[in-house]
Amino acid sequence: MRHRRLTPSVRPKRGEGGPLAVPHLAVAALLLVLGLVLAPVALAPEALAQEPEEAILGRVFSGGGADQVRYPGVTITAFDADGVEVGTAVTDEQGEAVIPLPGPGEYTAVLDTATLPEGFVPRGDVAERTQNVQAGRTGNALFPLAEAGEDGAAPAVGGGGRSFSDKLSSVPQLFVDGIKLGSIIAITAIGLSLIFGTTGLVNFAHGELVTFGAVVAFFFNASPAGPQIHLILAGLIAIAIGAFGGSGIERTIWAPLRKRGVGLISMLVISIGLSFIIRNVILIIYGGATRPFTNYNIQSQINVLGINIVPRDLAIIGLSFAVLIGIGLMLQRTKIGKALRAVADNKDLAESSGIDVDKVIRFVWLLGGGLSAFGGVLLGSTEQVNVNMGFNLLLLMFAGMILGGIGTAYGAMVGSLVVGIISQVSTAFFSVQLKFVWALLILIIVLLIKPQGLLGKAERFG
């Protein structure tokens, strides 16, 4: 059985836990103390330079380049060539642990996989490194981690070595993870789809609206420069700012361009330029790091009908579905919703029957901006905040939108859920690294078989 089910989930993040996480504050405090104790050890390499002494420097990280994340609190133990334990250490805030060695020779550093952060396994399932340490040198033992599905339910590489029935038994768990991812995609894709439906614009800058929401929430919630308020409050502010940001972009950029008669393909290219600008402005202000919010990080899993899930993820699914149903009701029952559907269906007919099309489009952007920001807050709370999170989500939004039927709200919802579920469930059978490949392949297959999508109406697309 996978160990992380048995141990409390400890994420290597600062900050407090939710109400359910109180026992784990003790763990966090313990880690903090350990970190303080180990801090002098972390400075050791410099000392080593002056006074030659052999050591192993273990480093636990995931990702690469600017996206690299280091993990504290992981235990690494060193054994000599005869298998005798020579020392053990816990990684510090830099994800590094130094184990002093008795002398030069061959040593094996072993990762205690039970102490790994939630949702991570050693990349390629390699939990030990053997190093020949020269006299007076420090041997490096690098332990790259990989995400194990969303919930540690599948090992990093291809689910290799597990029996088929084992893989099958992880499907229900991954299905729920997929619903979580899918509902986040759905929330963001509705805006994208409605914008396309009402204006014909394929908005390549939509992913940046997601990132924007997450970063605004990060500022209010976790940034040292911000007010450091609770995530729920910060999220609401982010949604409001995101909504006004969306309608601001419509008023200042798209409405004037439409008025000048700029074509749809030109506008598509302009939206790519816009996405460049927004993403890099965020990069300058927020930086390239991947950082968590301060709330709801450390939670223990609860068991609902045989599925292990942290309350945060359950809340994400609940909130998303509430919002999706709310939007459905809004589209069906309210005046603006009916006007919106009319414009999406036939703009000219809607206009000639007295609907203020410009007002409807502004509303769509307001809605799209707010929903994207909401999606960004949700995504940031489950996967941390990063400048590329939105762009990475954009292709999944496209996949969901096309699968469900481009231009429709309900299609985007259904398609996005399918995309999320397929991405996650695929990790039971195939490599985690390929999980988005399946979603994007579906996009191409749908175009081949049923280009109008699951819920779209058949028309000539040529």
Partner 1 sequence: MELGNVFIDGMRAALGVEAVVFALAAIGLNIHFGYTGLLNFGQVGFMLLGAYGVAIMARACPDVAATQTAANQIGPCGQPLLYGVILSIVLAVILALLLGGPTLRLRSDYLAITTIAAGEILRFVFRSDTAAPLTNSVFGIQQFAGDFFAINPIPPGNYFGQLNYSHQQLWTMLVGWSLVALLTLWTFLLMRSPWGRVLKSIREDEDAARALGKNVFSYKMQALILGGVFGALGGVFLAMGTQAVAPDTYIPVRTFFAYVIIILGGAGTIWGPIIGTIIFLFLTSGLETLLRELIQGGVISESIIALPEVGPIRFIMVGLMLALLMAFRPQGIFGNKEEMLLDAR
Among 36, 43, 142, 269, binds partner 1 (CB under 8 A): 269
By the rule CB under 8 A, 212 interacts with partner 1: no
Least distance between partner 1 and beta carbon 163 (Å): 19
By the rule CB under 8 A, 126 interacts with partner 1: no
Q: How far is CA 461 from each of CA 144, 219, 453, rounded to the nearest angstrom?
A: 47, 44, 12
Instruction: Specify the residue, 56 or 419, whose C-beta has the smaller distance to partner 1.
Output: 419
Instruction: Specify the residue, 32 or 440, whose C-beta has the smaller distance to partner 1.
Output: 440
Q: Which stretch binds partner 1 (CB under 8 A): 26-34, 78-86, 172-180, 393-401?
A: 393-401
Q: Which stretch binds partner 1 (CB under 8 A): 19-27, 106-114, 128-136, 270-278?
A: 270-278
393: nearest Cα among 223, 182, 238: 182
Interface of this chain with partner 1, residues 184 to 203, rule: CB under 8 A: 202
Interface of this chain with partner 1, residues 76 to 115, rule: CB under 8 A: none
Cα 66 from Cα 52, distance rounded (Å): 32
The CA radius of gyration of the chain, in Å to the nearest whole number, is 25
Structure tokens at 222: 């976790």
The conformation of residue 134, written as its DSSP 8-state character, comes to P
Among 252, 266, 332, 334, binds partner 1 (CB under 8 A): 266
Q: Is the dihedral of CA 9, 14, 19, 23 positive or negative?
A: positive
Give the x-and-dash track for 148-167 against partner 1 (CB under 8 A). Answer: --------xxx---------
Cα 462 from Cα 456, distance rounded (Å): 15
By the rule CB under 8 A, 116 interacts with partner 1: no
Q: Which residue has tokens 């450390």?
A: 298
Which secondary-structure segment (H or E) carries 414? helix 409-429
By the rule CB under 8 A, 454 interacts with partner 1: no
Among 73, 231, 443, 456, binds partner 1 (CB under 8 A): 443
Contacts 24+ apart (CB under 8 A), 40-43: 41/89, 41/92, 41/97, 41/98, 42/92, 42/94, 42/96, 42/98
Instruction: Specify the residue, 257 or 330, whose C-beta has the smaller distance to partner 1.
Output: 257
Instruction: Specify the residue, 30 or 253, whose C-beta has the smaller distance to partner 1.
Output: 253
Q: Which stretch binds partner 1 (CB under 8 A): 37-45, 111-119, 239-247, 394-402?
A: 394-402
DSSP SS3 for 102: coil
By the rule CB under 8 A, 255 interacts with partner 1: no
By the rule CB under 8 A, 270 interacts with partner 1: yes
Give the x-and-dash track for 59-78 against partner 1 (CB under 8 A). Answer: -----x--------------
Quick check: 271 and 405 in contact, CB under 8 A? no
Structure tokens at 143: 């332990």
Residues 6+ away with beta carbon under 8 Å from 299: 9, 17, 18, 20, 21, 24, 310, 311, 312
List interacting residues with partner 1 (CB under 8 A): 64, 123-124, 156-158, 202, 257, 260, 262-270, 272-277, 279-281, 283-284, 395, 398-399, 402, 430-431, 433-434, 436-437, 440-441, 443-444, 447-448, 451, 461-462
